[in-house]
Structures are given as C-alpha cells and as structure tokens.
Amino acid sequence: METRQFEVAGRRARRKDGIAKVTGREIYSSDVYLPGMMHAVVLRSPHPHAEIVDVDVSEAERMGAVCLTPFDVPDTVYNERTVSIPEKTYRDRTVLPKKVRHVGEAVLAVAHDTEELAMLALSKVKVQYKELPSALDVKDAMVEARGARLYDTVFLGGECIQVKNNIACERSIAVGDVEDGFRQADITVESEFEAQRMYHAQMETKAAVCAPEPDGGITVWTTTQTIHNVRQLLGQIFSLPLHKVNVKRIALGGAFGSSIQMNSITPICVGLALRAKRPVKLVTSREEDMYDHVKYPVRFWLKFGAKKDGRLVAAHMKALVDIGAHNIQAYPLLGCIAGWFASLYKFQNLLFEGRAVYTNKVPACAMQGYGNPQTNFAVESLMDMLAEELGIDPIQLRLMNYVGVGDEFWGQGPTVRSIIKSCGVEEMLSRGAAMIGWDRRVHPSQKSGDVVRGIGVARGFHTSGTGGPKPGEVIDYSSATIKVNEDGSVDLITPVMDQGGGTWEAAAKVVAEVLKVPLDMVGISPSDTRTTGYDVCTHATRGVYCGVGAVHHVAEQVRQKILEFAARILEQNPRDLSLARNEEIGQAVIYPTGLPDRYITLGEVAKTAQIKSWGTIAATDSYRQKNCPPCFVTHFVEVEVEKRTGRVRIVRAALLGDCGTPINPDMVKGQLIGGLCRGLAFALLEETAYDSNTGRLVCGGYLTDYKLPTACEMPAIDDIMVGFANTYEPSGPLGAKGIGEAALNSAASAIVNAIYNATGIRFKKLPVTPERVLEALREGVAR
Amino acid sequence: MTETSITLTLNGKKKTLRVRPNELLLNVLRDRLFLTGAKYGCGIGECGACTVLIDGRPALACLTLAVAIDGKEVVTVEGLARGDELDPLQEAFLDHGAVQCGFCTPGMIMTARSLLDENPSPSEEEVREYIRGNICRCTGYTSIVSAILSCAQEKEGA
Amino acid sequence: MNAQNQTNTRLLLPEFEYLRPETKAEALHFLDQHRDKNVHILAGGTDLIVKMKTGALSPRYLVNVKDIKELSGVRQINGALHIGAVTTLAALLRLPAIRSGYSALYEALRSMAAPAVRNMATVGGNLCNGSPAADTAPALMVLGTVCTLSSVAGERRLKLCDFFLGPGRTALLPGEMLTELLVDGVRPDSGSSFLKIGRVSADIAKVNIAVYLERDGDRVADCRVAVGSVAPTPLLLDSVVSFLKGSTMSRQVLSEAGRMVEDAIAPITDARSTAEYRKAISRILAEEAMQAAWVRSGGEVPR
C-alpha cells in the first residue's frame, strides 16, 4: 500500500482558530452585533396540526414592533436542503406556512429594539387556529381514514404531486435476485430493529443576523453548513439577484447535520430585516431549537441468508422512517440507507424497500451519519445474531463478507458509486481485537453475578463526499482561492464551513505541505459567498476529501506559478527548480535542483513579481472529486451491566479509524472519541419522547429532561484506545479520506453487541435505558 | 420596575452600570458590554456554557441577576489571560486538541480554572466530576480532561 | 406554547421589584410588608430563576437574602450543627465536620448538580423549592433535622419531615422564611448514608434514599429511612423503621427491609423514569444504603 511521509500533514499542531476560541473572542452568529440592530422572536404553534385562520398583530405593531406573518411572506415553495439535484428534491414548505404541522412550528415573528420588547409585543399577538386531526404515530399516519392529512400535494422538482396516506416518498432498490438468494441459503436470520428520535443538541442554538444593504441587497450571518446554498435559497425566496445576497462564513457552534439545510429561522430573519429596513438578529432559545430538528427515527425489518460456511447470499431490508412535518431530505435518505446497507457486506442478492411518512412531529433531518448509525445498528446486530447461529466468531464472519478494495461502494445511495481503492478493515479488526482483549471474551451463559461485563464489536464506514465517476442525484464540488503575499505568506480563501472538526486546519496544512511554507505562514481568510466559488455543503464527511481536495488542486496550480516566476528570476527552466521548506528562515525557498545554497525565498519571488509588475501569484478554481471512498471504522467496546439496576457503563473502548492520511491526527482522534460519546447517547440515553395527547415534547424542550452525556459517563482516558489504519487514499488530498460521520456509525452497534455479550439479551430498540434493561432481565427478553 | 445602579469589578476593572431587576448577568455581559465569551446554551443551568467566576468561584450567568452582583468581582474568559500571556489552561486546551466547535470552551475553561484554584492536583475522576455541568457535544471530553490534568501540579510525594 | 405563555429561556421576562435587605430582621420585614403581594425569596436562584423563565412563577417582589451574613454559615454548638439557610451547597461540602460526621448529607451534596450550581444554590433553597426529588431532603430528614421558621412575629421550630406538604408546597406561612437548620450532634455508634440514581451523573434523582442507623452491638438500636422522588413529598418510611429497630443485622434483615421500602412506595411514571423501575431500584438502593450506614456505625458487613 502506498504511504508517504509529510512535513506538515499528519503532524500535531495548534489549530488556527484555537486562540480565538480559548479566549472567548471567536465570533459565532449569535455574537454578531450591528448598529441599529433589532431583535426578533418567533411565535410557535401550540398545536400539532392546525390551520392559521387569522392573525392580528395590530397591537404589537402599535407597540413599535415589526411583524412578519404567513400572509406577508413570499409564497415560494421550497426545500431548505438543496444538495440534491432539483428534479430529485421534494418541496413542501414556505417561509411561514399557513398551516402548522407540528407543535413548535413557526407561526409568525416579531422584531423590536430589544428581545424583551419583542417578547412583550409577541404576547399581544392574536392567532386564530382551526385545529386539525393530527398523526403522531407513524403507523397511524399511514391510515388516512384516521383523519390526519398533512399535505394534499407537494412538489417534486417542477411537478406537483399528490400525497397519499401521508407517505412522503418510497424507494425500492434491488441487486441480483433476493428470492433466489434466500433459496440458496442454508440458514436465515431475521429481526425488527428500531432507532429512536434523538436531538442533535449542538451547543449553539440556531441563529441569524441579517443586515439590509443600501442597494437593496442583504448580508447574512447564520448557523449553516453551507453558505452558498443559503445564499441561493434566499435569493430565490426573496427574488434578489445573487450578487446582492451575501452570506458570511462564520464559526459554527456544532451542527451534526442540523444545518445542512437552511435553518427555518434564517429566511424569517431576512424577511423581518427587509420589512424593517434595519438589521435584525434572531437567536432561538434551546426549547425552540429542540422543536426545530431531530435525527431520523427508523424502524427496520431485516433478514439475512447465508451458507453454512458463513458466506452471505441474500439480504432483505424494509425501512420505515417517521420524518415528521416536513420532507427535508427523505428521498435521498432512503437511497443512502440502501447504500449503507448494501455496502457493509457482499450480500450478493439484496432488496431494499424504504418508506418515509409524514407525522405531526418535529421535522427530521440528517444527523451525523445520515441514516448510517441506524442502519448499522440493524445490520451489525443481525450479523452478530447470524454469527451465533452459525457458530462462527463475529470477527471471522465480518472478515469473510466485508466490502473492500476493488468492490463497489455506494457513497450516497444507488446513484453515487465508486470502486474502493483503500481499505483498513482487516487491519482494524485484528488490531482492535488485540487492543480490547477479544480472546478474553466468553459466551454470556458463562457469566454470573450481579455485575457482568461483555465485549462487542461492530464495524462501519461513511462515505467521503458524494462524488462519483458519473454525476448522480447529489451535487458535489468545491472551490478555492490561494494567493501568495509579497512576504511569502499565503492567504487561503475557501467557502467550506467548519463545524468544529478542523476542516479549515486541514486545508491550511495541505497548502503548507504543497507550497512548502511553514504552517504559521498560511492564513485562513474570512470569506463569504461574494468572494468564493461554490461549495455544496460541509456534509457527507466531505470537508477534507472534497473541500480540501479543491484546495489541494488549486495549491498545485499556485505551485506551478511560483516555479514559473522563480525561473524568471533564477534564469532557469521551471522544471529544473526545487521548492522546499526552510524552517530556519521561516519561508519556502526555491533553488536550482541540486544547488540548495543558491536559493531565493518565496517572499523574494512574490515581491519581485510585484515590483516588476508580473502580477500576484494566485489561483482560483473549482474541483470535483470523482470518487466517494469509504472511511472505515471499527468499534470494540467493553460494557459493564449492573443487573440489579439495569445500568450500563462503557468501561473500555478501542476505536479504530481508516481516514487515509490523518492530516490532523489530534482532530481525527477527537472525532473518534466524540463519536463514541454521541454513540453512547444514541445507544443508552437520549430520545425525544412525545406526549401522545398534546403532540408536545415530554421534556418541553428543556435540557432538564433531555439529558446529554457528561464527562462522567465516558470511560477514563487510559481506557479509550485509538488507532489509525495505515492506509493511503490515492484519490484524496495527500492520501486523505474523511472520518467525521464514520466516527459515530458503528459505536452504538458495538455497545449493543457488548450488552448482548454481557447479558445474553439482544436489544433491538434504542435507547437501551436502565428501565428497559431491568425489564428485559426480568422477562428474559427485550421487548 | 426600578432601575438600580450597581458597581462591580469586571475582569479587574471597576464598572458601574444601571440595570433593571430582571436583567440577567449573561445578557448584560453580552448585549451591553459585548463580552461574548460566555454563551447562551440552555438558559436553565443545564449546560455550563455561560460559566463565569463570581468572587473567584464558578457561577452560571444565565441564572444570575445582574442586580445581585453589586459589589462583587466577576471574571469572564476574556479576563483570564494576563495581557498577551494566555492562562496555562488556555495553552493546554490548544495543545491537547481540546477545542472543536469551541462553543463550550469558554465555560469549560472557567470551570477548570476554578477547579485548579480549589484543588491544584486533582485526579482524573475529580476533574470529570468537576466539569460534569459543562456539556461538550463534540469532543467526548477526553482531550478536555487531558488538557486540565496537564495543568495540575504533581501531588506532593507522588 | 402560545402567545400568552411561550417561554424564552434566553431572557427573564417577569417584571418584579428587587429588594436587598442587609439583615435578617429587614428581610423578615420585607416579607411581612409584601406578604399578600406574591413575594418570593431569592437565594441561589438556581430553582427560582428557572421557574420564572419557564413560566411556573411570576413574583412581584424578590427579596434577595443571599448576602445576609447571619443567615449563612455553619456553627457547631454543643456538638449540634446550626446551618444557616442560605449556606451554599458548596460551602457545606467543604466543611470537614459534614464530611466526617454526616455521611448522608455529604453524599447527597456531592451527588447534586455541578460545582457552579452548588456554588450558587443554598441548602434552604433546595428545601423550600419543595421538590419531591430534593437531594438534601431525605439526608437531612434522617439526620433528624429541625427547621427554624422565622417571621416578624417570631420563630417556630418544625421537624423537617413535617415541612413538605406537596410538590412545590411547604409548611412556610405567608411572611415566613426558613432561617436555620438544626442537626443533632453525631452520636457514638451511628452512621448514615445517601444513595441516588439519576440518568447521568449530574441529575435530578429517579430515586434517592437516605438512611441513619444507631447500633447496639449487632442490633439496630434506632434508625430512620427516607426516600425521595417516589411520592408528592420526600417520605420518611416508618414501617421500615419499626421493622429494623431492635433487629439483629443480617443479610436477610437488609433484604426484608429493602422489600418493605419497595412495598411502601407508589411512585409515578414521568419524564425521568417509570413507576416499575423506581420501585425496583428503591429496594436495591435501600439495601445498599442501609448496609453502608450500618458499616459506618461500626457494624460488620452483614452476611
């Protein structure tokens, strides 16, 4: 396998935005203050389903408030997520819908000089609702006779389509002949699995600030993973030419997928600012945020067929997704679930049948893994069940069947596929087994006592981006500008958002690596939609592979220009020059190959180019990755179960990641451990439960009753072992793939498999709370 | 409601302000003094993002009435560095990769500062217990705990 | 959520007058003066401000007692602890006397919230909030705590176990304020313990339990058992006490007492846990807490 030594990439360094973040000086959307700024608040529906018959904002307006109601927003029907091609994008919403479809949906908004005054004005608003029958349970929702009908019609691309039985969309995907596959099988296993509604709980609640500009345009600072898609949507909704819509790139206090789509409050804030002709700031409260987005909950039915020797021959999956009140991205999600399923093992024959259903609950959207952790939970649980039936070691069964080098990988559903070129699956399974002590693992029947331990394994992956040799249903490319300043320092201008994972840092390191400049001579420039080319979104674990891939592509062009200008000065052919890093003088240097003493510095080259009016050494370009290489992960987890209280604790974990070259090793490690923490939350703790009468969240939107893992729930420092697979992705920047979402994808599966190994009870419904454990231990089986 | 004049020491400097009784310290710091290091995360004392030091001990600015800090000393994350010299904890957070999105970082650092002031050589378990009111959704805490422990003094005799 | 009661935890919306008495007498005077006008005491604020933000309370007057020196701090008189009601949880936790002599209270304090909250929150506030899940309540109840309730008319004393009337309701009359807690001195051959299970480490209890035991050789000479979060108020379980008193300690006795705790309670299912789970773990916690208290009293680990 190809490996390379790098001077900057792969080495630890302080992240460039670190100083601002540790001193409290980093500016997030909610930290933006503008002269004359108004503050906005949103009135939210108390009903799960109701028509808005009338609104009366006259008293609020008399108090000096500026109001925005469903009756005075543009009627553009849009989808807030625009990373798929338009003809595969369902559209069902407006800025402020005239019919509310979940408790907490925005009804209208009010801006005033202060947030207190805005709240006071809001309390004077009168809304007349006509309540409608609601569907809170996904199975009830499919029976239209029960009365709830969320939509009559929605748009798919340009076409208006009927919605029947609240089914938002369906997808059926087949490979080979699944019936024939099951006929060949010596053994079949099948089961249902259920993954819950879980809240992203990113630390920063959704926020937007909009300044109307004198030319009729707008400048927007908002929590988003994609400045360009927000810009295009705002332009479309408010009929503004794009050169008058500027969305600023700004630090983001976490997202985990909840800002792949334009946040619901962003156009509301813009609408208010345009109406008020003053800057407006809108920051949601935590309780509003919890009513705004949630992870896709999925119910699975899954069946495998295998030969006696463990070779898989058939698999059939049915997935039912409760998408809540809006179809943000259910169609691509179903495709992706099929892909996450199809790409884990060589099933040979498979059938996927997916259905997404509207309910009167918080709209679901991507959350780290985009259906992958849910799918992985079902597949990796059933793999363990199959291994036990066959009497084969779970690791062995995985090694026999995994999808690896030379196989096709579905990076974003059935239309985005590429051939795998780098794969650390075998290495990670064997190293991880040694790290956790797999040979100590014994069958649950051999355990006794009130406190039992168990070891579980699960493997997973995520895509790196959504590119493929053939363009599919998902848009994927990025852009970058790099320029060399007159002292040899470098400005990097990228549209890519960094939600905290260190994408910008990786970009700076790649520039430093290619241009041989010291890392501290690379500056990450503030940027916005006006000064950058398009980037689709920091989603699909594409930041490093695709976003930084574009940076790498442009850096190579800049490198050529450096050599051309240096060649003029040194009176040499550019081919005969070497570019190298000189840490002593803190510069990149250029010299005739073989004569390092005859160097000139990059600063001298750039300054000469300026004085002689040759021009700036710079390049701008766009770049599309034509692969979607999987970043593989493997989780080994040891749990301890207190049988008397049902409590489960993770005592040890071995986390292995295959991200190709780890450009930021610290950050890769941080992603893997962070993934374990959110995997713990998904497996054991978190769920947004609903009151079936009122349609409200049982926790009310307050963190008091939506508990997140604290430092005490995680294993000790020495009990978390992290390893990177020794791989090199030939299509990636400096051999890198992604890691972000992969870091989570098999975490919960490994935890649940470990609980089985401890207790002999197979949990098929998440989260595995102490209440459920105790009940199952008493009854001998999990419900 | 009656406005009241309060005087406090904020990051080492005396400050006099007029506040309404229902103004929260967090909003005074952010909206009026533009010290935006302390963050709103939950508003009800569950996440720790708004942690500041009042009279040297950690407190939640989202649950503190500004009027009630009259005469007290408040330190925010902006007041932690001495001139250009970062607090050792700030350095350690940078060196241990303890910062991802950074939204919890100011509150986390203020809590950690208070821990080390109270107990200069905490064990790992003591660190974890002390920061359990500060939620970080990104890191899984390991890098944060490591950063804090790296600032701890060796226990005598250890 | 509607226009009238939608919350916004970014702000404190209720409007009120703020009063900051310098002395206890002045505080009592304010309470008396505004007794019919929705007056509330502000101490740590960690419960009160949350209730005001989430719409549960809208006081017209807030009397901030946090900085009144005579209401704060702990004095040891003739062995007994006199705990000022506005002593913070953190201050109590730092007190060596509590760590060494009052294990149940120490463990309750340690289990509560996080350091920032403990620095703000006061022991009186934790009790006066009237939560059935208040962690200091069962601990102080089994330690035989007596409350001093003060008003302009004078003082009265009340056992803490008689203080709680229902969720958010206490025995405090209009114009009255909890000013001091009196906890007996540590007796020889006694021990106490507190245990709790929450969802995460810093959480409100699904169930909490406190036990106090006095030992006479291998027999239980006296004891008290209190459980929280399983009823409208923290409960002192007399049935368990009458069973344990005089018993010779053994595994069987512990197990029987645990079963009695489970039988004595009728908890509800709520956002934090289920009734079934609460019953099941109350028994486990009771057994463990009783054993810990017994061992602390000098007894041997029962077999």
8 Å CB contact between A328 and A80: yes
Please give the model's pTM, rounded to 2 decimal places. Answer: 0.98
Nearest Cα of chain B lies from the Cα of A393 at a distance, in angstroms, of: 30
β-pairing verdict for B4-10 and B73-75: parallel
What are the Cα distances from residue A744, in Å, to A741, B73, B77, C221?
Answer: 6, 42, 31, 55
Chains that touch A (3 or more CB pairs under 8 A): B, C
Q: Do A702 and C277 touch (CB under 8 A)?
A: no
User: What residue ranges of chain A have pLDDT lower than 70?
Assistant: 1-3
In chain A, % of residues over pLDDT 70 = 99
Q: How far is C221 from C105, CA to CA, in rounded Å?
A: 21
Instruction: Give the CA dihedral A649, A652, A656, A657, nearest 10 degrees.
Output: 50
- Residues for chain B: how many in total? 158
Q: Do C200 and A647 touch (CB under 8 A)?
A: no
Nearest to A94 by CA among A72, A68, A75, A71: A75
8 Å CB contact between A168 and A326: no
Model confidence pLDDT, tens digit, residues A515-529: 999 999 999 999 999
H-helix or E-strand spanning residue A665: helix A665-680
Q: Do C116 and B133 touch (CB under 8 A)?
A: yes
Average pLDDT, whole number, for chain C? 96
Model confidence pLDDT, tens digit, residues A573-623: 999 999 999 999 999 999 999 999 999 999 999 999 999 999 999 999 999
Q: Do A25 and B37 touch (CB under 8 A)?
A: yes
Q: Do B42 and A286 touch (CB under 8 A)?
A: yes
Q: Is A783 on the interface with B (CB under 8 A)?
A: no
8 Å CB contact between A747 and A683: yes
Cβ neighbours of A707 in C, within 8 Å: 199-200, 203
Q: Give A333-378 as a DSSP string.
A: HHHHHHHHHHTTB--SSEEEEEEEEE-SSPPEE--TTTTHHHHHHH
Q: Do B45 and C46 touch (CB under 8 A)?
A: yes
Q: What is the band of B158 on the pLDDT scale with cuts at 50, 70, 90? A: very low
pLDDT score, position A510: 98
Q: How far is B149 from B143, CA to CA, in rounded Å?
A: 10
Q: Which of A18, A23, A711 has the CB atom closest to B77's CB atom?
A: A23
β-pairing verdict for A618-623 and A478-484: antiparallel
Q: What is the band of C3 on the pLDDT scale with cuts at 50, 70, 90? A: very low
Q: How far is A670 from B99, CA to CA, in rounded Å?
A: 9
8 Å CB contact between A609 and A615: yes
Chosen from B128, B137, B151 to mutate, greatest number of chain A CBs within 10 A: B137
Nearest Cα of chain A lies from the Cα of C6 at a distance, in angstroms, of: 8
Single-letter amino acid, residue A184 = Q
Q: How far is C187 from C201, CA to CA, in rounded Å?
A: 32
Single-letter amino acid, residue B74 = V
Q: How far is A586 from C18, CA to CA, in rounded Å?
A: 60
Question: Which of residues 69 through 88 in chain A touch B, CB cutoff 8 A?
Answer: none
Cβ neighbours of B21 in C, within 8 Å: 15-18, 62
Rounded to 5 degrees, what are φ and ψ at A396? -60, -45
Nearest CA in chain C to A649: C200
8 Å CB contact between A458 and A675: no
Cβ neighbours of C4 in A, within 8 Å: 123
Nearest Cα of chain C lies from the Cα of A538 at a distance, in angstroms, of: 29
Structure tokens at A374: 């849910």
Q: Which of A18, A31, A203 has the CB atom closest to B137's CB atom?
A: A203
Single-letter amino acid, residue B89 = L
Q: How far is C295 from C303, CA to CA, in rounded Å?
A: 12
Nearest to A417 by CA among A402, A429, A401, A403: A403
Helix (H, G, I), strand (E, B), or coil: what is residue A463? Answer: coil
How many C-alpha atoms does A586 have within 13 Å on its Cβ side? Answer: 6
Q: Which of B41, B90, B95 has the CB atom closest to A286's CB atom?
A: B41
Question: Which of residues 235 through 254 in chain A touch B, CB cutoff 8 A?
Answer: 251-254
Cβ neighbours of B24 in C, within 8 Å: 11-12
Residue spans of beta strands (DSSP E) within A213-359: 218-222, 245-248, 280-283, 294-295, 298-306, 312-324, 350-358
Nearest CA in chain A to C1: A46
Helix (H, G, I), strand (E, B), or coil: what is residue A321? Answer: strand
Listed in sequence order, the residues at least 6 apart from A708 whose beta carbon sits closer than 8 Å to its beta carbon are A201, A681, A685, A686, B47, B135, B137, C200
Single-letter amino acid, residue A677 = C
In chain C, alpha helices (H): 24-33, 48-53, 89-94, 96-101, 103-111, 115-120, 123-128, 136-142, 238-244, 251-264, 275-296
8 Å CB contact between A736 and A664: no
Model confidence pLDDT, tens digit, residues A446-497: 999 999 999 999 999 999 999 999 988 999 999 999 999 999 999 999 999 9
Query: Does a cis peptide bond (omega within 30 degrees of 0) precede residue A767?
Result: yes
Q: Do C17 and B2 touch (CB under 8 A)?
A: yes
pLDDT score, position A1: 42
- Predicted ipTM > 0.85: yes
Structure tokens at A636: 């080994």
Cβ neighbours of B34 in A, within 8 Å: 33
Checking A129-134 for CB contacts under 8 A at 24+ apart, the result is A129/A45, A129/A47, A129/A50, A129/A51, A129/A52, A129/A53, A129/A100, A130/A50, A130/A51, A130/A53, A131/A47, A131/A49, A131/A50, A132/A49, A132/A50, A132/A51, A132/A99, A133/A49, A134/A47, A134/A48, A134/A49, A134/A360, A134/A695
Q: Do C276 and A771 touch (CB under 8 A)?
A: yes
Structure tokens at A667: 């950050």
Nearest to C24 by CA among C62, C81, C63: C63
Size of interface A-B (CB pairs under 8 A): 181
Quote the DSSP letter at residue A407.
S
Model confidence pLDDT, tens digit, residues B87-115: 999 999 999 999 999 999 999 999 999 99
Q: Which of A18, A285, A716 has the CB atom closest to B124's CB atom?
A: A716
Q: How far is C81 from A90, CA to CA, in rounded Å?
A: 68
Q: How far is C2 from C15, CA to CA, in rounded Å?
A: 19
Structure tokens at C302: 């029962």
Chains that touch B (3 or more CB pairs under 8 A): A, C
Structure tokens at A278: 């003053």
Residues B84, B90, B91, B95, CA torsion sign: negative
Q: How far is C146 from C162, CA to CA, in rounded Å?
A: 9
Listed in sequence order, the residues at least 6 apart from A214 whose beta carbon sits closer than 8 Å to its beta carbon are none
Q: How far is A342 from A766, CA to CA, in rounded Å?
A: 22
8 Å CB contact between A302 and A316: yes
Model confidence pLDDT, tens digit, residues C178-215: 999 999 999 999 999 999 999 999 899 999 999 999 99
Radius of gyration over every alpha carbon of chain C, rounded to an integer in angstroms: 20
β-pairing verdict for A587-592 and A577-582: antiparallel
Residues A375, A380, A386, A390, CA torsion sign: positive
Q: Do A119 and C13 touch (CB under 8 A)?
A: yes
Structure tokens at A722: 């992290």
8 Å CB contact between A543 and A740: yes
Q: What is the band of B154 on the pLDDT scale with cuts at 50, 70, 90? A: confident
H-helix or E-strand spanning residue C173: none
Residues pairing with A352 in the sheet: A173, A317
Q: Do B4 and C11 touch (CB under 8 A)?
A: no
